[in-house]
């Protein structure tokens, strides 16, 4: 399992449109993908409701985890998404 600590760049946090873009990108990967706060319980990054339930705001740090086939590429792509302004 690979993981990265990522700071959310979207001004509105990981809500509505940014969360939708992130969840769609996570769903494209064959392996497992999860997201959560440091020290918190991770959730399935492919579930819109689970991601929204975290209520992650702008500037917060999250732990992104990937496992399985293509885990490294998935971690790079999803980390890049979270560190960009997905609401633009």
What residue ranges do the domains of the chain occupy? Answer: 2-82
Which residue of the set 10, 13, 15, 86 is catalytic?
Answer: 15
Rounded Cα distance between 64 and 75, Å, is: 7
Confirm whether 15 is a catalytic residue: yes
CB 19 within 8 A of CB 54: no
What pLDDT is stored for residue 36 in this prediction?
98
**CATH architecture of the domain covering 2-82:** 2-Layer Sandwich (3.30)
Rounded Cα distance between 6 and 59, Å, is: 9
Rounded Cα distance between 17 and 27, Å, is: 15
Query: pTM for the complete prediction?
Result: 0.94
Q: What is the pLDDT of residues 12-63, one digit of tens each?
A: 999 999 999 999 999 999 999 999 999 999 999 999 999 999 999 999 999 9
């Amino acid at each position: 399992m690979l993981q990265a600590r990522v700071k959310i760049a979207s001004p509105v946090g990981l809500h509505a449109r940014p969360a939708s873009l992130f969840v769609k990108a996570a769903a494209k990967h064959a392996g497992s993908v999860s997201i959560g706060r440091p020290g918190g319980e991770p959730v399935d990054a492919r579930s819109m409701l689970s991601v929204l339930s975290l209520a992650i705001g702008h500037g917060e740090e999250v732990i992104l985890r990937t496992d399985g086939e293509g885990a490294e590429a998935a971690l790079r792509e999803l980390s890049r998404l979270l560190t960009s302004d997905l609401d633009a």
